[in-house]
Amino acid sequence: MTLRVKDLKVYYQTLRGDVHALDGVTFDLEDGEIMGLAGESGCGKSTLGKSLIRLDSRMRHVGGSIELDGKDVPIADDDAMVPLRYHEISLIPQYAMSALNPTRKIGRLVTELLRARGVRPGDIEDELKRRLELVGLSTDVLNRFPIELSGGMKQRVVMVISTLLNPSLLIADEVTSALDVSTQRSVAESLVEFRDREYVRSMVFVTHDISLVYQMADTIMVMYAGRIAEKAPVKTIIDAPRHPYTQMLISALPEVGSTSTEERLEGIPGKPPGLLNPPTGCRFKDRCPMAFDKCAEQPPLLEIEPGHWAACWKTGE
Amino acid sequence: MWRYIGRKSVIYMLTFVIAVTINWMIPRFMPGDPVRSMLSRASVSDPAALERMNNYYNEIFGLDTPLYEQYLSFWAGLFRGDLGVSIMLYPKPVTDVIMGAIPYTLALLLPAILLSWIVGNRFGAFAARSKILDNSILPVGYILTATPYMWLALLLAWSVGIVAGLLPASGGYSFSLRPDFSWVFISDLILHWILPFLSMFLVALGGWAIGMRNMIIYELEADYSNYLQALGAPRRLIRRYAFRNAMLPQITGLAVQLGTIIAGSLLTEIVFNYPGLGSLILDSINNNDFFLLQGIFLFVVVGVLIANFIIDIVYVLIDPRTRVQMTGGAA
């Protein structure tokens, strides 16, 4: 067991009150597992990604715990998190294009970062060069400034830097969102390769692109309005989803090879609820075609078959 | 890199030519006849004598030739280092008059500009993100930077110089002394220098500190800072990067500010009756001495151009982004 998150609650503090971005999230991540984390904008998937490594100044840890390799992750204590960061938990940020200091050559940036984290840069130099070549970059990029690289190259440089210390857990936050389709694929493939070569033990891949997750991930976790709707192996989520939200989400995707032009793809009518004052009970009930009386109570996240978790009263029957 | 410097040099040369031309034009098209006003001070009543004196001076100053000839001979003189003869201090050459004033202005301006910039940046970076300093000392910075140079100068001259009587509030040195290289003279020089220096230093200091504080906060919010924080990099490293990147706009700011600072020094020098270029400008305007005025402006223009040129080059050296753009990636 690599990662165990229990009833995690993280709120954003705003002038109008707390935004319940994560409201009781529980899941496990196995060794070697790549978990796709999907959901609409504002469902809390990026917040969950951030909560695993660093809360920003507006985020507040309200409850719940995170355990990595049997050790507690003190997410609320910024200083106590420092030893874990980079060594145990690492991040490929959403903004990888601008994640590198523009006035430092990449090689020097890496050296300074490593030295600051107590690693002798010389010990790791060969590995760094090997990994750059693995993702298709020449080692010459170390002598360049970030502005001299293309977006895709910067993305790959950040990928290599982030995973250089072989972390247990890698959070990839919307890493493919800003890339074109062919680059998306090569980035996704590199990430899988990193896992296969055990550069990273397990990975949370935050995205809204379910078709990409389908190609690379082992499991998919679908979030809705700050809670988990369903978590299952990729095939199960795509072929036999049980939660009505997942079902509607999957049916809203175009099918490969489909030539039908008569059927328009159906979206999900309605909007997700605001998280400033979230509704009680099941948060999907207002948009759910199967909603009934019991949905006024919050459905628990239950394991309906091994490795398949869902939070819906209808699936629990 | 050399192509970049070459291109910049051409631009600066063009600016120089245009500035010199405008500089030559302004006093000549200003109302008032300098020779007449000089003669009226001599109170010559005989019209024939007046006429002859008028012609004599016009010939000496070259004012009897057509305008284009005056313009060309101005350029010719410029290259010989000959800027004509001062009317106000006739027959002293303009170059000598200016050379006498320049050490005072430079001794005042250079330390004021550079020290306020260095101290202000350091201080602003230090104050950023520290609640106590941010709330107590930065408001003082806002007041300082909103203060006009001459008003602060007046305040200092009045409070420190006159009421408290701690420091001399007028002149470059005591009237009882003659310029020489004695300890007495130099210490007297320094005492006279403190107040004008302070008035310029303080006003500029506030502006730089505030600018730097805002830039640092901006840089600490930047993506690369967040990334380093997520990877657990220590605060010191992140701050060092932020400071360096925040310096870039401050360097541009310095270049832009140079012109204003020279204008500020004019008023400061007048308030303290300091014998630099500023006081000289005022005197030459009052006396319609346009050769002198022209010469001073020329020096100011050259000074600003040189300073900007240096900053352009420094900027290229420290910002890889400019370097890459300007030199086509050969950095």
B234 part of contact set with chain A, CB < 8 Å: yes
In the 8-state DSSP scheme, what is residue B163?
I
Judged by CB atoms within 8 Å, which residues 84-113 of B form the interface with A?
A: none
Inter-chain CB proximity A93 and B233 less than 8 Å: no
Separation in Å, CA of A314 to nearest CA in chain B = 40
- Mean pLDDT value of segment B169-175: 78
Secondary structure of residue B6 in the 3-state scheme: helix
Q: Is B205 within 8 Å of B118 (Cβ atoms)? A: no
Q: Does A101 touch chain B (CB under 8 A)?
A: yes
DSSP H helices in B128-148: 131-136, 138-146
Are A157 and A149 spatial neighbours (Cβ–Cβ below 8 Å)? yes
pLDDT of residue A83: 92
For residues B293 and B13, the model is more confident at B13
- 3-state helix, strand, coil split of chain B in percent (to 5) is 80, 0, 20
The whole-angstrom distance between B205's CA and the closest CA on chain A is: 26
> For chain B, what is the mean pLDDT?
83
- pLDDT reported for residue A317: 55
Pick the residue from chain B with its C-alpha nearest to A56. Answer: B226
Determine whether the interchain pair A93/B329 forms a contact, defined as Cβ–Cβ distance below 8 Å.
no
Best A55, A77, A101 residue to mutate vs chain B (most B CBs within 10 Å) = A101
Count of alpha carbons within 13 angstroms of residue A149, beta-carbon side: 28
Rounded to an integer, the average pLDDT of B220-247 is: 91
Query: What is the complex's ipTM, to 2 decimals?
Result: 0.89
Residue B245, pLDDT above cutoff 70:
yes
Q: Which of B224, B234, B319 lies at the smallest CB-CB distance from A100?
A: B224
User: What does the pLDDT read at residue B84?
Assistant: 77
Listed by number, the residues of chain B in 269-328 with a beta carbon closer than 8 Å to a beta carbon of chain A are 318-321, 324
Residues 6+ apart with CB under 8 A from A223: A25, A37, A38, A39, A43, A44, A45, A48, A229
> Would the CB atoms of B321 and A103 count as touching at under 8 Å?
yes
CA distance to partner chain A, nearest, from residue B225 (Å): 8
B119 CA: distance to closest CA in chain A (Å): 23
> Per-residue pLDDT for B27 more than 60?
yes
According to the model, what pLDDT value does residue B331 have?
34
Q: What is the per-residue pLDDT across B59-106, written as a single tens digit (0 to 9) for each?
A: 777 777 788 888 888 888 888 878 777 877 777 888 888 888 888 888
Could you say which of B230, B324, B331 has the minimum Cβ distance to residue A85?
B230
Q: Which pair of structure tokens corresponds to residue A225?
A: 């309005």
pLDDT at A1: 62
| Cross-chain CB nearest to A147 (options B227, B228, B320) | B320
Closest CA to A184 of A143, A215, A146: A215
Q: How many CB atoms lie within 10 A of CB B172?
A: 23
- Is the preceding omega at residue B91 within 30 degrees of 0, hence cis? yes
How much is the pLDDT for B330? 40
| Section B222-249 average pLDDT | 91
More confident residue, B285 or B263: B285
**pLDDT beneath 50: ranges in chain A:** none
- Rounded to an integer, what is the distance from CA B299 to the centroid of its chain? 10
What is the pLDDT, as a whole number, of residue B63? Answer: 72
Average pLDDT over residues B101-126: 89
Is the Cβ pair B231, A102 closer than 8 Å? no
